[in-house]
Every structure is written in structure tokens, then in C-alpha cells.
Structure 1
Amino acid sequence: MAQENGLFIYGIVPSDVEPTPEAEGVGSPPGEVTAVRHGKLAALVSEVGLEEPLGRPDDLTAYERLLDGTAVVAPVLPVRFGTVVTGADAVEDLLAAHQDRFAAALDEFEDRLQYTVHGRFDEQEFISGFLAENASAAALADEVRGRPEIESREQRIRLGEMISQAVELRREAENRDLIDAVGRYAVADAPLPPSHELDAVRVSFLVAGDEEDEFVRAVEDFAEQRRDLIRMRLIGPLAPYDFVSAHQLVE
């Protein structure tokens, strides 16, 4: 029995956007990326088997690579990863039903890119600084030092809770400080949930093209001031995942 195919939708773009010939989609082997057009809009799609499991790391990488590469040259509204419809007619129906709303969103994201700042505390540096400032925690640390874990379990749990709370409070402060320091060069910001217990900052910014250099310099300055405590990464330019998703625009 022949496999039934559908279309994986990556994102919504203006109708004049053309996928590059070398663009590769999800699946194994990777599908060819094409555009389904309707009026002022197009959807970037590739053919996939309806029974084909998606979600491998290579699939997510292909999805992000296509959207991030597109965002550098044209506005794009990312569609939630894994969105598959039965065929081109279904894609055209989606575009027709939301033509004005999608077109307005694309206008809003013209010449704007996402950057995400992600920093993680150096564990030893953070704990050393915390114990130097907190006498109660330092006393607990002295109490458990050199003792068998089973004998000091209660104290270790209390100390761990104190450190965890301190990380959370410092993370909130660092996110605020980051937004204060670089937010003037961004159109919008979106603080994100931590992805690790030692996350220090995790914020996405929507940046206009003519502010990119200033934004990057401001992030570098922020990171330099904290380089002994926080290992910082600037991720981007990206499609505006944290500011718009086309599936969220559909009621």
C-alpha cells in the first residue's frame, strides 16, 4: 500500500519569497521546500509521509535552519513545529481565511530579527559569593563539610534550598538588568523560563535591522561585566519564534 503524503508547514511569508534550491526540509530523506501561494501570502512547505514520525533532532534543526535563513532576507511567521496538513488546498484555505491578519503581522516584522541572550552561572563562583554574603548559609556549609551525607542530609537539603532560592532571586535581577541595559536597542523583549537550574539570564529580543550592531555591542558589554560569574551566549539572528507564531494567530 502506497504511503499517503501531506505537507509540513514551516512558516508564512510574503508571496514573492522563493525558497532557495538548496533548502532542505524535514524527514528522511529531507523533503524539497516549496511555496504554496494565495494572494499576498505564501507558506513554505515540504512533502512528508503522514505516517512518518517527526521530531528527530535533525528535523528540528532543518525547521529552524529554514526559518532562520528566511528571516534574514524576509519577514516570516513561524508555524508550530510539526504542523502537517493534507495538501496544498488545505494550505491555501489557511492563507485565504487569515489573509489580512497574516499580512499585517508580516508588515510588523519587516526588517526585524530575534536574538536570544542565554547565560548560566558558574556554579562554584556563585556559591562562593553567596556563602560570603550569607552567614546562615556559610554556617550550614561549615556544618556539613567533611561529614557523611547520610548524617548531614537535613542540613544539606536546607543549604540546597537556600542556594536554589538565591539563584532564582539573582536570575530575576539579572534578567531585569539585562533588559535595562540592552532593551533600548530592541523593539520588544520576552523573558523566557529557565532551561537549567543555574540559568542566570534567558531573554529574547526583537531587534530592528538598523539597531543590530548597537544591540550586539550592548550585550557584549553586559557579558564582559559579568564574565567571571556568568557564561553568556548571544543566539541569533533568528526567526521571531518568541514574538509570533502563525498558528497562534488562527482562532
Structure 2
Amino acid sequence: MTDEQAQPADEAGLFIYGIVPSDVEPTPDAEGVGNPPGEVTVIRHGDVAALVSDVGLEEPMGRPADLTAYQTLLDGTAAVAPVLPVRFGTVVTGPDAVQDLLKAHHDQFATALDEFEDRLQYTVHGRFDEEEMIGDFLAENRSAAALADQVRGRPETESREQRIRLGEMISQGVELRREAENRALIDALTPYAVAQVPRPPSSELDAMNVAFLVATDDEEEFVRVLEEFAEQRRDLIRMRLLGPLAPYDFVSAHQLVE
């Protein structure tokens, strides 16, 4: 590598968090990624702007503290203004590159920001209680219950095939119940949400995992209906609500420019 090709280890770039309206100002205590955390600033063009902070081009990203800083900044911003999250880890060489991005896609960004005004993401995640789920499944499936009786108390080496088959049947039962619970959740909350995005399960015992885009005027009713839904299933499913959040599952500035 020649001297011209060599890149100084301490060369800095700009980490982009999200696109916001041009009148947004980061709070004085806002902290960015990096060690030590970078100061969050704004680069503006017309009606839109980008939240950025300095970061070393050679500095590794992806520490838990970095992801926390990224989410904290975007979620805090979403509470007071629309924001289009930029994919975590997006780093450019400097202010000119950010200006070029804002200039080239100004109208797309401005339109999207208008669409997300007064809208926030809530993510609903639920996990089956394993013992309750299996008990319900065996009570409803005679074949599986008979197979469970056959393997109960027998050494694993003598009942391996039956145990494998029973495991497959239970897994299929969980999958079918998960699909049904996701549909039920979406049906219950759709009247109080602008949009919804089913998310892939994060574990075999996931009962539901859905992101909802909710208008601020509907937040209270959305939460009330969700609490009723969760109460009806409290013995079978442990549910939790994440939010309000930036609309990660509904928009990305990268999606807008591709």
C-alpha cells in the first residue's frame, strides 16, 4: 500500500443516526456512540437534517453501549419529533457527504417525515409458558398425549424415536398456536394502529412478536386494549410492551434512497 493509499488510524468520520426536520435540536446531554461518546450535532439542508456525531473511521462499532446510545437518541427524538432511523453503523467521511445525501433525497425525506408526524412504534412481544403450552397441547391432541404416555418413565435410549416424534408434534403445535396468537393480536389492535409488521420469532417459545405504528392520539386506547388482551392470556403467555420507540420497523433512510 502506498502512502497515498494509507489511511491514518485517527481519521474521523460522521456516524449518522437519523433524518429529522430541520428545526430539531439535540439536547445538551445527548450522547453518541464511541468511547468516549461523541457529541451529537445536526447538519441541515432545506427542511431536513441529519443527527450525527464524530467517530473514528478505524473505531469498531457494535458494542452494547453503542447500540444503546443509538436507540436512546432515536427514541428520545421520536418522542418530540418525527425521525427516520438510519441503519445502525452508517458512517460517512464528513459533512459534505451528509449534505450530498440530504440534497439528493430532500423531497423523499421531507415527505416521509410528514407521514410519521405524531406516530410512534410499539413492539408487542409474548412468550409461552412452556409447561402451560405443552399441557394445553397434550390436552387437545390425543395422538401426542398417547405418545407422551408411552415415553413417560422410559429411558431415553429406549424411547428415542418416540421422543423425537413427540418433540416434532409439540414444535408444530407451538408454531400453529403462534400463528393464531399473532393473528388475534393484530386483529385486536389494528383498529388502534396505523400499520403493523409481524416480526420473526426470537425463540421457539415465542407466542407473538409484532411491531405497531400508533398515532399519538390513539396511544392510550392502544395500551388499554393490549392490557385486556394480555390479561385474557396471562396464564399461558408472558407479554411485554416495548415503546414508545422510533419507527425502526416501518422506515429506514436507507430504504428511501435505494
Q: Same-fold call, TM > 0.5? A: yes
**Matched ranges for 1:1-251 at <5 A:** 3-251=10-258
Read off the aligned partner of 2:82 and give its amino acid letter. Answer: P
Contact preservation (8 Å) 2:9, 2:57: no
Q: CA deviation at 1:18?
A: 0.2
Structure 2 SS opposite 1:115 = strand
Deviations for 1:35-54, whole angstroms, at most 9, x for unmatched residues?
11111111001111101100
Q: Distance in 2 between matches of 1:210 and 1:17?
A: 22
Structure 1 SS opposite 2:79 = helix
Q: Distance in 2 between matches of 1:83 and 1:234?
A: 28
Q: Distance in 1 between matches of 2:155 and 2:90?
A: 52
Q: Percent identity?
A: 81
Deviations for 1:209-239, whole angstroms, at most 9, x for unmatched residues?
1000000001100000000000000100000
Read off the aligned partner of 2:64 and give its amino acid letter. Answer: P
Read off the aligned partner of 2:115 and give its amino acid letter. Answer: E
Aligned residue-pair number:
251
Stretches of structure 2 that go unaligned for 5 or more consecutive residues are: 1-7
Runs of 4+ in 1 over 6 A off after TM superposition: none
Q: CA deviation at 1:206?
A: 0.4
Stretches of structure 1 that go unaligned for 5 or more consecutive residues are: none
Distance 1:190 1:2, change over 3 A: closer
Q: Distance in 1 between matches of 2:32 and 2:65?
A: 10
Q: Distance in 2 between matches of 1:2 and 1:224?
A: 55
Contact preservation (8 Å) 2:148, 2:166: yes
Read off the aligned partner of 2:185 and give its amino acid letter. Answer: L
Q: Which moved more, 1:103-112 or 1:131-140?
A: 131-140
Contact preservation (8 Å) 2:9, 2:58: no
Q: Distance in 2 between matches of 1:157 and 1:192?
A: 28
Q: Distance in 2 between matches of 1:238 and 1:187?
A: 15
Q: CA deviation at 1:2?
A: 5.5
Normalised by the length of structure 1, the TM-score is 0.99
Q: CA deviation at 1:78?
A: 0.2
Structure 2 SS opposite 1:73 = coil
Structure 2 SS opposite 1:37 = strand
Q: CA deviation at 1:244?
A: 0.3
Q: Distance in 1 between matches of 2:93 and 2:101?
A: 12
